[in-house]
Chain A
Amino acid sequence: MSTKELSKRGAVWLDALTSSAPLQPGFPPSVRVVDARLGEHDARFIAVVPDPDNPFVRARSGEVGLIEGWEIARAVRMVIDADEGRAVKRPIVAIVDVASQAYGRREEAYGIHQALAGAADAYASARLAGHPVIALIVGRAMSGAFLAHGYQANRLIALADPQVMIHAMGKESAARVTLRTVADLEAFTARVPPMAYDIDNYASLGLLWKLLHVSNADAPTGADQSTVERTLQAALDDILADPSRGLASRLGSPHRAASVKVRSKLREEWR
């Protein structure tokens, strides 16, 4: 993506939902970790935010890079380790506003795929260990960055807002890789829902647990904040009432009929 104003949404929502509780020390400026209450429960909130002074230059605009991937993993695993053997596992909330993964030579050289796997592994392991994991998407949730930070959650919640975007690749690169013009790509996105870049089309895929309307996604009002807090608590209750620790709750949409058909046929033939 070209240079854009750095998004403040991750930081703003993290601050709002944790009543400005202090940041956990020991993390880099791009990974903010806060322990605060979520209703009756202690919870850990994690956000990746832009850091214009990030030593890795390709990760200065809110991308998930080498350091961010492994630091997210550390923040999550601290909670898993601390709660080991406890009956009640702390919820983890990923606040998602991630521009993309970091695209750069250093990143490939030092194995950014492994760093992102470290983060995805930590969230998935937390979920399997019984930690309720919720992703709240307040801005962009792009590609590998979202796979590392959010997509392993038990429940996905997104704000219904034009700046909220979930996608596999930016338009220019997607056009290049699929040998299309950007105009052609846009024409297809209008009639192929999984290719679309807007949140309403994404919602039609059935992956979100809730799509939330707020009045100001950049500077949440008190009412916006309560709406989101209530929804996070409802998500938590829903997770706790669900015996499954997997991701099967995402398979309900007619747009995922083929995903369901493949699974049921595999089961018939499995033996």
Chain B
Amino acid sequence: MDTQELLERESFIELDARSRAKKLLDAGTFRELLDPFERVSSPWLARQGIVTQADDGTVVAKGEIDGQPAVVLGIDGGFQGGSMGEVSAAKIAGSLELAAEDNRNGIPTRAVILFETGGVRLQEANLGLAAIAEIHAAIVDLRRYQPVIGITAGPIGCYGGMSIAAALCTYLIATREARLGLNGPAVIEQEAGIAEFDSRDRPMIWSFTGGEQRYRTGLVDAYAGDDTGAIRAAMIERFRAGRPDACRSERVEEFLQRLSEVDAHAQPTPQQVAAIYAKEFLS
């Protein structure tokens, strides 16, 4: 991005979840479901002395994308780290289920998920985990009819069970600011020790899990600058491309082949990962 582009672009990362959803939908089509005025918030946080948020940190926005019916599910990384509680996760799972039902009834509703999330909200632990399994189920179902597009822009990144959800999406778009990984740095350090993973070593963390490396290694499909227009364009391009021959999570033999080339005894460098993973998939 040169200086002129930097001045002209509109940052996506700086937008809140609601504004992001509005910008991704076709102009004038945004309509929020279960908005904050309905006050469906977490039934579990208050009894632990934690302040709730009226939308539980997730925005459900219906409208159109590229002239076709769409729902954008925006996670607000600013509330409890974008974590999935019973309500926020049910908003996502329930919307995806309705979108799949639409498709079975001849309405081609498509979905976009904005991943800014640490995964399960530990204060609602098992209900968050169960609901994430329902999000997984709904993505795999809807993906049969329409592409499900995941976008992770930052600054929170995408972790835990929701990184699995992202990996189930038909297409994934990431920025340089984003991180995508199963286990958060602090948790790996806690479980495996600081020699295995130093949660304060930010360059190391980004070198393996940052958006640029994930794009280089084929674990995301599109790499965009922090520019709302560029992200929207990448999203529309992927919707127009439709379903690929196989989604990433269906490429079992190809990933096993790649892993067979890994020297499991040594800690890899990002370059070694790229050397094995950067190859094109067959077909």
Contacts and interface: CB of A to CB of B under 8 A. Distances in A.
A104 B34 contact: no
Interface string B85-106: 0110011001101100000000
Given A192-B47, A194-B44, A259-B90, A103 B183 contact: yes
Contacts, number: 262
29 contacts: A67-B256, A70-B252, A107-B182, A108-B197, A109-B270, A110-B262, A111-B214, A112-B181, A112-B183, A113-B181, A114-B167, A114-B249, A117-B136, A117-B168, A118-B251, A120-B136, A121-B140, A121-B250, A144-B182, A147-B136, A167-B125, A176-B186, A207-B130, A246-B137, A250-B134, A256-B86, A259-B127, A262-B90, A266-B98
A124 B140 contact: yes
Interface of A: 1, 55-58, 66-67, 70-71, 73-74, 77, 100-101, 103-118, 120-122, 124-125, 127-128, 143-144, 146-148, 151-152, 166-170, 172-174, 176-178, 188, 191-192, 194-196, 202, 205, 207, 246-247, 250, 255-259, 261-263, 265-267, 269-271
Contacts of A121: 136, 140, 168, 247, 249-250
B160 A144 contact: yes
A44 to B, nearest CB: 16
Grouping DSSP codes into helix (H, G, I), strand (E, B) and loop, the A interface class, with mixed when no group exceeds half, is helix
Interface in B32-51: 33-34, 38, 40, 42-44, 47-48
B171 interface: no
A58 B196 contact: yes
A245 to B, nearest CB: 9
B38 to A, nearest CB: 7
Contacts of A172: 190
A1 B33 contact: no
B74 to A, nearest CB: 15
Nearest to B213: A109
Contacts of B146: none
